[in-house]
Structure 1
Amino acid sequence: MAIVKYEMKQYKTLIIIWSIALSVLIIFLLPTFISLMTNNSVMTPELINSFGRNKFFIAIGVNATSLLTPMGSYSYVNSFVLIAAATFGTYIGISLITKEYSQKTADFLFTKPQGRRVVFSSKLFAGAICCLIVGLTYLVASYFAFLIFAKDSIEFIPLLLIAFSVSLLQLLYMVVGLLLAVFMPNIKVPIIVALGIAFFTYSFGAFARIMGYKFVSYLSPYSYFNNEYIREFNSYDLKYLLLFLVITIVSILVSYNVFSKKDIHTV
């Protein structure tokens, strides 16, 4: 637990900043989009009809006509929140490992002494806690945003699943970042790599939807939590959920095996 507490202390400020940022984002943007999309003087029939032909909405995986409903507006905003979530998760996963190389702080970890497997498990647990705190804070903020601005339009199950997908996506990208870091522990600027991975995989999903190449969507974790599917069936897509579990478990097992055999430079 000492390592977990140490890691949580290291990321405390970052967790607070991201939690507040995502909460403020949804609380301010949701009423803005709801007001805009329900304004008849703005949303003319001609404009609404043009939505169906707009490739932008196809690319982000949102049914354009659903934007006219509060849940549709929420799905639209959430599609961009997922990019931030992926960035945060990847950054946490990478930095959990790379900071021990860049800061040469491994001597702290082994003073108990602690075996590498205990260190890895503790870091993984701490990373998961970081992601869940940010994700669950966003979920609560989303619920309160609906209570304040669209109380009569709450679809509880879809709202819960869509909001919780932020936590799941963060966890997935966190373990992928962890996997990358055990093979490339000397990454100097984790946030740049995290941004690159988040946007690159998002582009895969957008390309797959525009071109109709469904097989490409498997390369984009964003596709695993499709808002429109969730709203229609009140559940996650089983095949993508299974893929999510496989990637997560395999990433953890490989990372665990590599890290347990890898030397860490000490001061």
Structure 2
Amino acid sequence: MNIFLHELRANGKSTFIWSISLIMVVVLFMSFYPSFAKDAEAFTKIMEGYPETVRNLLGVNLGSFFTILGFYCFPLTFITLCGAIQAMNLGTSIISKEVREKTADFLLTKPVTRTKVVTAKLLAAFTSLVLTNLVYLSAASIIAFQVKNENFSFKVFIMLSLTMFFVQLIFLAIGFMLSVMIPKLKSVLPVSLGTVFAFYFLGMFSDTTGEDAKRYLSPFKYYDTAYIVKHAEYEAAFLFAGVVIIIIAVISSYVVYTKKDIHSV
């Protein structure tokens, strides 16, 4: 419990900054909604000038773009990207910071198993993401109700917002695995940004081909916002794929870490 609370406090400043940043992004974008909705015809002509692939990359579906839910999908693309970077940073720093700061040997001399240490750290990172999403969802809900010009399904709004959390969990698990697999991770940021953007560009590639099978290459494409708005549900196959990735990454990380050599200072 002490390790969990220590990690939670250590992540507190970062969690606060990410939460405020995500709120600022959603407030900035959603404040434009009344103007877009008012001049829907003019903006439709502008958006029709862009190729469908580009519109898909931006999360723009002309069929629903000028509804509050359809418009929300637009900033959610960028918000999810930011959330993925936060999760990846947390995941890659779980173990690597102990080696980088030369405190791993001290920590592991305490009367706790490696499994308990890693579990406490992973739970702290998970809790940080939960807090971020609770704060973000509260702020996003308030701004959505403030700018809406017609009633909308709050259930679908919640489902759309939760896609960021689901993507974050996947990147948290991937980052956790990398923190264990890479012997000496000197800097978290390059690995985090490189991994997140690599998957983001893979998602862009899947959009250009239009093949559903290639969507499995990128967690960013597991939750199709247009599908969620239309059907008020997630695609089961991609939801299952995300769960499988998380389970495999976490289990393999535990197995490797409990057996790996930890060099002393």
TM-score (norm 2): 0.93
Which residue of 241, 244, 250 corresponds with 2:242? 244
Whether the 8 Å CA contact 1:202–1:222 is kept in 2: the answer is yes
Over aligned residues, Cα RMSD in angstroms? 1.8
Residue 197 of structure 1 aligns with an amino acid whose one-letter code is T
Paired letter, 2:45: E
**Post-superposition offset of 1:111:** 4.7
In the TM superposition, residue 206 of structure 1 has moved relative to its aligned partner by: 1.2
Match of 1:37 in 2: 36
Task: Find the aligned partners of 2:40 and 2:148 in 1 and give their Cα distance.
Answer: 20
Segment of structure 1 superposing worse, 214-223 or 107-116: 107-116
Tell me the SS of whatever aligns to 1:229: helix
How far apart, CA to CA, are the structure 1 residues paired with 2:228 and 2:83? 18
Displacement after TM superposition at 1:239 (Å): 0.3
Question: What SS does the aligned partner of 2:186 have?
Answer: coil
Identity of aligned residues (%): 29
The amino acid that maps onto 1:183 is M
Counterpart position of 1:47:
46
Distance 1:31 1:49 in 2: 23
Contact 1:3 1:109 (8 Å CA) reproduced:
no
User: What does 1:7-26 align with in structure 2 at a 5 Å threshold?
Assistant: 7-26=7-26
Post-superposition shift, 1:26?
0.8
CA deviations on 1:124-145 (whole Å, 9 max, x unpaired) are: 1111111111122211111111
Does the CA-based 8 Å contact 1:161-1:230 persist in structure 2? yes
Give the Å deviation of 1:35. Answer: 2.7
Structure 1 residues 79-88 or 37-46, which shifts more? Answer: 37-46
CA distance in 2, matches of 1:21, 1:45: 29
Superposed counterparts of 1:112-151, under 5 Å: 112-150=110-148
**Whole-Å Cα distance in 2 between the matches of residues 213 and 173 of structure 1?**
23
Rounded Cα–Cα distance in structure 1 between residues aligned with 2:44 and 2:134 = 38
Q: Relative to structure 1, is the Cα distance of residues 147 and 45 closer, same or farther in structure 2, using a 3 angstrom cutoff?
A: closer
Give the secondary structure class of the aligned counterpart of 1:114.
Answer: coil
Say which is worse superposed, 247-256 or 112-121, in terms of deviation.
112-121
Q: Which amino acid aligns with 2:186?
A: K
Q: Could you say which residue in structure 1 is the equivalent of 2:260?
A: 262
Aligned equivalents of 1:220 and 1:255: distance in 2? 21
Counterpart of 2:102 in 1: which secondary structure?
A: coil
- 2:16 counterpart of 1:4: no
Amino acid in the other structure paired with 2:189: I
Following TM superposition, by how much is the alpha carbon of 1:195 offset from its aligned partner in structure 2, in angstroms?
A: 1.1
Distance 1:265 1:150 in 2: 57
Which structure 2 segments of 5+ residues have no match? Answer: none
